[in-house]
Structure 1
Amino acid sequence: MFNIVFLCVAGFLAAFVDSIAGGGGLISVPAFMLAGLSPTYVLGTNKFSATTASLTSSIKFITSKKVNFKILKFLIPFTLIGAYLGVNTVLSIDEAILNVLVLVLILFIGIYSLFSKSLGLTNNFKGINKKNMSLGILLAFSLGFYDGFFGPGTGSFLIFGFINIFGYDFVNASGNARILNFVSNISSLVLFAIHGRIFYAYAIPVAIFMILGAQFGTKVALKKGSKLIKPIFITMSLAVAGKMVFKLFT
């Protein structure tokens, strides 16, 4: 009983943070590990609960008109293809090298966002053109693939990409990133389910509390805007980097 209560509280907090700026896995994954699940069940169970919450957050951003389907209708298929290939590809890159590469990128994002005073605070979206759509498709495919087999920092990369490619502020970037992140999550969730790596006795109650956390977090993000999202985004980006540094030296 204690495990379920602990996981539900952790799930609520994880979904609250994740719906605003990404990085919720930093809270939920260690919580599932502390509950005694094996690594594959940790990932599968967390993916089930987090994907359910992600759907709720996505719907809220959609109904608040912070999602641009004129862009996403082109990006979603590439995210799906990338995620499918990522899940089913035998990696030729050594994981240690990949860890270092991702660490450098996520540190760059966190530090750049910290020192850029104007980044993501105003919505400078000017419309769709060949350049930003081409870069958007590359972003969608690459991060779909990345999320399919690895995953840490995917939400942060997507938000940063939408700000720099399309000129969105943090609120609109978070809304569009949430949809792509949800799409890429579906592929790996299906795989975990097929292989029976979801512990539903934990996954279902945690999913309920993650849905509540996602609703609350999305509501706060939409109400408070980019000035709230930016510091949380920077904090979670640097926290992901910190976790990866710890992993490298342990």
Structure 2
Amino acid sequence: MVGELLLLCLGSFFAGLVDAMVGGGGLVQIPLLFNVFPNGAPATLFGTNKAVSVVGTGFAARRYIRQVDMDWGVVGRAALAAFVASFAGAAAVGLFPPAMLRPVVVVLLLAVLVYTLKKKDFGVLRAEGLAHRPKPLLALALGAAIGFYDGFFGPGTGSFLIFLFARCYAWDFLRSSAAAKVVNVSTNLAALAWFIPVGAIMAKIAAMMAVANLAGAWVGAHLAIKNGAQFVRRVFIVVVSVLIARLIWDIVS
């Protein structure tokens, strides 16, 4: 069991590192939990993942807030809408299998990847005129849509948030990643509000993984802030590509 705990902590560290930059930590953490606990209840494993992720994401958000200029008129509205919608998404899981969304998500992520690759300066330079244009209703709609998706299904939430903030508000990838972390904290808390009352969390395992996840988040946020938007853009492209490959594998296997 010691070896399995070490594996979980190492995986959680890497998940926190990647997630702090561009999202996608669930790509590492969720499969790892399912492999280590093959007989565990899915709800418990997902709840444990959220309990771990909220620690690293919260720390990364705090780090970004201190060093990256944030438009709280946009980010606050998006986070609030995401919290409400994420809880609704978790409650709606029983309506139809979330796996049915996989082909749609693959198409959307492919569109995101192609657009990012085609627009060489997308997410690298901030268009000041567009960035200061007020879009309060758009922020609410964006937060609600991604929040519901995260509560219902989840893969790629951070990547979608970064892309949408960069596309809709003309922010660079660093600022978009910072905003995405704040919204992600909101959706994670909403999910925990669903999982905690039913006891769907392995508390001791989550606590150990959370320490490693926080350490990874510190490294990831440091790398992103130090190296800037161009670096975050490159990592974003890699993570989205891996996420597409993983979802396609899940569909065909």
Which TM-score bucket, shorter chain as reference?
over 0.9
Once the two structures are TM-superposed, the CA of residue 128 in structure 1 deviates from its matched residue by 4.2
Range with bigger deviation, 91-100 or 157-166:
91-100
Structure 1 residue aligned with 2:170: 167
1:222 alignment counterpart:
225
Partner of 2:126: 123
Q: Which moved more, 1:238-247 or 1:160-169?
A: 238-247
SS at match of 2:117: helix
Task: Give the TM-score normalised by structure 1.
Answer: 0.94
Please identify, of 88-97 and 149-158, the stretch whose mean Cα deviation from structure 2 is larger: 88-97
When residues 11 and 96 of structure 1 are mapped into structure 2, their CA distance, relative to the original with a 3 A threshold, is closer
Q: Tell me what 1:234 maps to.
A: 237
8 Å Cα contact 2:106/2:247 also seen in 1: yes
Report the residue type matching 2:173 in the other structure.
F
CA-to-aligned-CA distance 1:28-53 (integer Å, 9 cap, x gap) = 11111221252222211111111111
Which residue identity is paired with 2:33?
Answer: F
| Aligned counterparts of 1:24 and 1:173: Cα–Cα separation in 2 | 17
Q: 1:90 to 1:55 in 2, by over 3 A?
A: closer
Which residue pairs with 2:28 in the alignment?
Answer: 27
Structure 2 Cα separation of the partners of residues 180 and 86 of structure 1: 15
* 1:81 to 2:74 alignment: no
State the superposition RMSD in angstroms.
Answer: 1.6
Measure the CA separation in 2 of the matches of 1:108 and 1:91. Answer: 28
What is the letter of the counterpart of residue 70 of structure 1? G
Aligned pairs for 1:108-187 within 5 A: 108-126=111-129, 127-130=131-134, 132-187=135-190
Q: 1:121 touches 1:227 (CA, 8 Å); kept in 2? A: yes
Q: How many residues align?
A: 249
C-alpha distance in structure 2 between counterparts of 1:179 and 1:227, whole Å = 21
Amino acid at match of 1:234: I
Contact 1:110 1:235 in 2 (8 A): no
Q: Percent identity?
A: 28
Cα distance in 1 for residues equivalent to 2:74 and 2:68: 13
TM-score by length of 2: 0.93
Aligned partners of 2:101, 2:252: CA distance in 1, in Å? 15
Tell me, in whole angstroms, the C-alpha distance in 2 between the residues paired with 1:32 and 1:92: 25
For structure 2, list consecutive stretches of 5 or more residues without a partner in the other structure. Answer: none
In 2, the alpha carbon distance for the partners of 1:125 and 1:209 equals 38
Alpha-carbon deviation of 1:241? 1.2
- 1:33-72 correspondence to structure 2 within 5 Å: 33-36=34-37, 38=40, 39-72=42-75
Task: Give, as a single letter, the amino acid of the residue that structure 1 aligns with 2:10.
Answer: V
Q: CA deviation at 1:96?
A: 4.8
Report if the CA contact (8 A) 2:87-2:193 is conserved: no
**1:27 Cα offset (Å):** 0.9
SS of the equivalent of 2:179 reads helix
